[in-house]
Every structure is written in C-alpha cells, then in structure tokens.
A and B are shown apart, each in its own frame.
Chain A
C-alpha cells in the first residue's frame, strides 16, 4: 500500500514523503491527505516520490491538485523523483514534468521551492 508523512523545516518549507504504489487504490488512499498537507501554511512544498515505485494517472491528478493548491496561495511545489524510474516516465508521458519542477535530489527541489 502507500504511506504519506511530512515534516516542516523552519517557517517556510514542508517536506512531504510518499512511498509505495500510487496505483488507483494507493493514490486514492493518500490523495486527500496529500492535498491537506500541501495546503498547510508553508509556502514551499517538496513532495518526495523517490520511495514510489509506480505512479498511475490517478496519482498524477492528486499531485496536480496539490500543486494548484500551493500555487493558489502564492507558494511553489517541487518534486523529488529518481531519474529513469517509471514514476519519471509517467510524469514525462503526461507533460507534468514541465508544469511541476522535478529534481533528482531533495536539496535541489527544496532550493527551487524556496526560490
């Protein structure tokens, strides 16, 4: 199954960690929490997907909804994804990698989200 958690770094950054399979049942299990966590007070949000093995379209929809929520309150969201993974493949196939910044290293993602 999938799991989700977060930690806050200072006043500005929230790291959200997701692991497991974001297939239809996995994505549905975490979608509302992802949106809730992303809608918190921190302007910069990094979603770490390096522990996700599989990202279906339902999961991508959840990421887009969260990125819109962050953007709607003037913040930025960035993703951490292993290059060459199937998760990256899903993002590229849908063009979402062009809409939400994607990085291989969390430090780079955090820098982009805080910029």
Chain B
C-alpha cells in the first residue's frame, strides 16, 4: 500500500492489488464510497464518482494492456464555501490513452442503431463536471470530478 494520506479515517489513496478484475473493481468502488462518506461528499455526487470510477477502471482493464499494474486511485475533496469539489485521479501504467481526444459519438437515432457496448466513455463524460488527462512518468493520469454548491 502506498503512503496513506488520510481523509478522516479512510485513506485518500487506494491501490488495486493483484490482477484487476470485477471483484477488485467492486472493492475499489467500496473504498471510494466509504471515503466520500467520510468526507461528507453528498451521496448523489458520491454515486456519480463511483459510477465514473467503475467505467474508467473497466476501460483500463479492457484496453490498457498487460502493464497497467499497479492502478492507483486518489480522492481529493475541496470543501470550498462557494463551490465544493471532489475528484478522483486514476493512474495506470498501461498504453497511453487520452479519452478526452476521442470524438464524441453521435447519439443513435433509433434502437436499431444503438450499440450494445462501448458506452463507458459517454457515461464518464455525461456524469462528470471536470475531466482532465495527462501522460507523465510513463503513466496515464485521468482525473474526473464533481462540483456542487454547499
């Protein structure tokens, strides 16, 4: 486990151990949920963060190649009196991939045209208030976050 900066009693940093799979993703979601509660992040914003985290991790596991490990997560909460912000940064050593550079997909006009996969990025874009990407130290760093008025 990396150095554990603490937000209350829950570490603000989480590392996915071993081979990341569905069970690990669920444990990561549980950590984020607990860390958000510990820091009074409203449940609606916490749910959005958890949803985005799930989709980001699914993308990393599916497309990041074999060298994604370790996948590190960091929660940052800024309880600004005018506009609060909570963000999660996901860092992985997989293939460089900037999701912000992917063109937005046109909405399907009918059910027949609707895809049955590949909608994770739409969820991340649609559910987050901020989205940043950088590739540094041979690692991807994707940050997504929510803002709300206190």
Contact = CB atoms under 8 A, between A and B. Distances in A.
B22 A24 contact: yes
Nearest to A92: B126
B127 A94 contact: no
B119 interface: yes
Nearest to B62: A24
Interface residues of A, number: 29
A54 B50 contact: yes
Q: Is the interface of A mostly helix, strand, loop or mixed?
A: helix
18 contacts: A21-B26, A23-B26, A24-B25, A54-B47, A56-B51, A57-B119, A57-B120, A62-B116, A68-B111, A84-B44, A86-B51, A90-B123, A93-B123, A94-B126, A95-B122, A96-B114, A98-B107, A99-B111
Interface string B23-41: 1011001000000000000
Q: Is the interface of B mostly helix, strand, loop or mixed?
A: helix
Interface residues of B, number: 30
Interface string A48-83: 000000101110111011011001000000000000
Interface of B: 22-23, 25-26, 29, 44, 47-48, 50-51, 54-55, 58, 107-108, 110-112, 114-120, 122-123, 125-127
A56 B123 contact: yes
B112 A68 contact: yes
